[in-house]
A and B are shown apart, each in its own frame.
Chain A
């Protein structure tokens, strides 16, 4: 196995809202190796995006990282000063967002935006900067890149815009790219292209990725490890193939059963009954309790994370696996 790149340990990010403390991310831990692609899945509000932003130290107030550590090659990013963090952002860890039509600045040419991202980390001449930009644009599959530097975001299609955003993320050759649902806003046909391309780019550049998505099938086609989040907690993790074949947490099992691929024609799609509890005022009980068919009195206390080999699960009554 290659060397460890990122260690997230006990990460908790809370939002101090008027109605109480919203525990968006609660005691999340995972390890990422160099060049590895890890998938972070969960439904809306499960805390997967906030986890991504927490790693970069980009949680907007009233959100706050309340505990935990994020060690990038041994250096803890939490507690780092803003200027120090700025040298990490974009150069060591960069991020691609969901909707490229809102991430790119509509009034600046893509060349200007790329040069700004480059200038944030090193002083380079205009010519050298342009050469770097053109090179990366070519790599992400923008045809005729040299001429398109002066184009504005609205002159690109949605897929091309996302490629530009990816190019900006790759510009300083980061060790890790956090992809926050980068294909969700795109056409299905473009999704597949971008997915494949990002996988290839990650391999070529040796870049590790955290791929955040609510779409299990998308994630499983890029990631080698999968992390399932529910109500701000990591409830299950393991190698993709293994986890999808034998889910251990009742929630993961429910998710997999509700995939349309598993539906029988003529039968309604399977769903998990109920909905995710509010993240404000979460009690001591297991967050999945109200939706779970396997619960008993033990589940009044939130289960601890158990591990067995490469698999981890947070459940008193896992549906499968050896968790003695």
Chain B
């Protein structure tokens, strides 16, 4: 197990290096930030001074090496636009995104899996058909549209929830969180609901497909022949047997939502990293783009590693193959 983790960490370092090259070259290939940094009527002298100050006159490989060396010192550079350390900027936004994403993905899973199991267990019942109808809805309706509908219905018309922004936060471990205050929760509700609808639909379908398949196996028949109750069969046998694909999708969704909750964050003016990256692309704020993409890659690697470790706990066959 430990060997496996160490092996994966070495892999992760290699992947991060490759990603850094790709991101650096990719980002530097698009546009010239100097036009954004100085006013159009600046003199040639100021222009050249600025270029030199940001190291933009150096060849690409030199710029990359400098970037890598600074990186090893934990320095991602300063944002051109905000004129503050990039890391500080991203971490000031990250808790908002993490909070939103975790609420959405966890909520979708906690609600979607049991409903999906039910829909797979009794596919002919009316409730099962309703659940499946809802999941088709969640799959096919675009996020931005449902977001606007949510705002219109629950914020504008009914006035139950705020229409946007993050609202009050409370501090835990030195980080500001909304979910710790009642009012903050109200601000969190609509964007999280908006973000979770698609994931909910996916979890329902995944759990339903797995349950339908598992219910036909001899494992379930044998458990029934032993007199075990249907509840025991669903919670102890079926849930365990369908958990591997669910954990896989959970990990993937968590990663991609953390990185790309852009649409929801924009509609609800949620001050997360998704909004930050869109803004920085618009202003060609290279250090922010690079650091953000590196961070996303890192998050994906960490999530995948966690998922792989969870597999080993869920499926004993993997455990013994490794040792």
Contacts and interface: CB of A to CB of B under 8 A. Distances in A.
B79 to A, nearest CB: 48
The majority secondary structure among interface residues of chain B is helix
B32 interface: no
B229 A86 contact: yes
B317 A94 contact: no
B222 interface: yes
B52 interface: no
A89 B229 contact: no
Interface string B198-234: 0000000000000000001111011111111100100
Contacts of B240: 105, 107-108
B241 A107 contact: yes
B322 interface: no
A90 B225 CA distance: 6
Contacts of B222: 95, 97, 103-104, 165, 168
Interface string B57-89: 000000000000000000000000000000000
B320 interface: yes
Contacts of B317: 106-107, 152, 154
A94 B226 contact: yes
A94 B229 contact: no
A58 B221 contact: yes
A154 B228 CA distance: 22
B37 interface: no
Interface string A78-120: 0000000011111100110101001111111100100011011
Interface string B165-189: 0000000000000000000000000
Contacts of A95: 222, 225
A240 to B, nearest CB: 26
Nearest to A152: B316
B218 A90 contact: no
Contact of A90 (B219, B226, B314, B316): B226
A142 to B, nearest CB: 18
A107 B314 contact: yes
A56 interface: yes
Interface in A144-182: 152, 154-155, 165, 168-169, 171-172
B218 A86 contact: no
Contacts of A103: 218-219, 221-222
Nearest to A90: B227
Most buried by B among A60, A91, A105, A116: A105
Contacts of A102: 217-219
A87 B225 contact: no
Contacts of B223: 105, 116-117
Contacts of A121: 227
Contacts, number: 88
Given A97-B221, A105-B240, A107-B240, A120 B316 contact: no
Interface residues of A, number: 35
B279 interface: no
A154 B320 contact: yes
A83 to B, nearest CB: 8
Nearest to B228: A120
B241 A117 contact: no
Contact of A116 (B216, B225, B228, B315): B228
Given A105-B219, A107-B241, A108-B240, A89 B225 contact: yes
Given A102-B219, A165-B222, A120 B237 contact: no
Contact of B225 (A58, A60, A99, A106): A58
Given A120-B232, A154-B316, A155-B320, A104 B219 contact: yes
Nearest to A88: B227
A107 B320 contact: no
A167 to B, nearest CB: 11
A87 B226 CA distance: 9
Contact of B232 (A60, A87, A116, A172): A116
Interface in A166-222: 168-169, 171-172
Contacts of A99: 218
A295 B315 CA distance: 58
Contacts of B225: 56, 58, 89-90, 94-95, 97
A58 B223 CA distance: 11
Interface in B282-323: 314-317, 320
B236 interface: yes
Contacts of A109: 316
A40 B236 CA distance: 33
A97 B228 contact: no
Interface of B: 216-219, 221-229, 232, 236-237, 240-241, 314-317, 320
Q: Sort A-B residue pairs by CB-CB distance and give the 10 closest, nearest first.
A: A90-B227, A90-B226, A89-B227, A95-B225, A103-B222, A117-B226, A152-B316, A102-B218, A120-B227, A120-B228
15 contacts: A58-B224, A86-B228, A86-B229, A94-B225, A94-B226, A97-B218, A97-B222, A103-B222, A105-B241, A107-B314, A107-B315, A119-B232, A120-B229, A152-B316, A154-B320
